[in-house]
């Protein structure tokens, strides 16, 4: 109920009318919005992104994870603004066998109002020794699949952000688990980017990822469709 009320308040602020809400695909959606948002096709590209004056940033939660920290996110705009890789650090003294990752989306002018949220349905199989950092390749969320409830008419407007964090973990008990999703992972190299106080953001007007000012964040830009946003080390615990 609280989620529904939050969404109704946010939709009102953003100028969207919603008389009722219901839950679809793990997100709270108003019926009038749902009627104008058909799901994009499975093969996601830039063509699946909506028209309008909007930006989207993707990055880690501002607070460091107590057990397993998700501290960096890579986004591929060419795949419909999909988060393709996440950087994890095991802060416990036990071997971690798997994690679940949750995400939330908000409009940057109202960061306390969550518009959409979700979680990986299964645990992601990644072995993390105590203190180990690894990069996990897994498409946690694709903006092209979730933007429908945010549309006004056939266009999107606003400055949006998706934040990711580790929401659940499983320790290695030696028994294994066949229900874990198998993924590719690799050792994370030492960070050498410092702290630029910038984050990646997709600009639909420019059709390009750019680095925007954001306190406590890092931005590693490679081209217009690939960018990595992280949390500056040592600033937030």
In the chain, the number of structural domains is 1
The whole domain housing 179 covers 56-231
What tokens does 132 get?
């180990």
Phi, psi of 204, deg, nearest 5: -65, -30
Residue 198 banded pLDDT, cuts 50, 70, 90: very high
Average pLDDT over residues 54-74: 97
* Token code pair at residue 206: 């420019």
Is residue 68 situated within a structural domain?
Answer: yes
- According to DSSP, residue 92 is labeled S
Q: Is 221 exposed, middle or buried (0-12, 13-18, 19+ CB in 10 A)?
A: middle
* pTM for the full predicted model: 0.82
Average pLDDT of span 139-160 = 96
Torsion of Cα atoms, 27 then 200 then 123 then 41, to 10°: 60
For residue 14, is it within any domain? no
Residue 189 maps to a domain: yes
> Where would I find the beta strands (DSSP E) of 120-188?
124-128, 133-137, 156-171, 181-182, 184-187
- Predicted local confidence at residue 193, as pLDDT: 64
Pairwise pLDDT comparison (99 vs 179), residue with the higher score: 99
Average pLDDT over residues 13-40: 36
Q: Which of 11-15, 20-24, 135-139 has the lowest mean pLDDT?
A: 20-24
Summarize pLDDT for 94-106 with one digit per residue, the tens.
Answer: 999 999 999 999 9
């Amino acid at each position: 109920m609280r989620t529904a009320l939050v969404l109704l308040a946010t939709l009102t602020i953003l100028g969207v009318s919603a008389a009722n809400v219901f839950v679809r695909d793990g997100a709270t959606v108003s019926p009038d919005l749902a009627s104008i948002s058909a799901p994009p096709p499975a093969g996601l590209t830039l063509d699946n992104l909506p028209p309008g004056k909007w930006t989207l940033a993707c990055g880690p939660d501002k607070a460091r994870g107590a057990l397993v920290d998700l501290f960096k996110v890579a986004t591929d705009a060419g795949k419909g603004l999909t988060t393709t890789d996440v950087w994890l650090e095991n802060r416990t003294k036990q071997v971690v066998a798997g994690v679940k990752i949750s995400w939330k989306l908000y409009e940057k002018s109202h960061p306390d109002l969550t518009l959409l949220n979700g979680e990986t349905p299964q645990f992601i199989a990644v072995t993390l020794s105590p203190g180990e950092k690894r990069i996990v390749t897994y498409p946690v969320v694709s903006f092209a699949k979730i933007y429908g409830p945010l549309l006004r008419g056939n266009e999107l407007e606003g400055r949006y952000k998706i934040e990711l964090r580790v929401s659940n973990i499983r320790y290695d008990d030696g028994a294994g688990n066949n229900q874990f999703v198998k993924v590719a992972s690799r050792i994370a190299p030492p960070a050498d980017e410092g702290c630029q106080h910038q984050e990646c953001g997709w600009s639909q007007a420019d059709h390009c990822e750019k680095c925007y000012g954001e306190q406590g964040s890092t931005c590693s830009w490679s081209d217009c469709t690939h960018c990595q946003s992280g949390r500056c080390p040592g600033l937030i615990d």
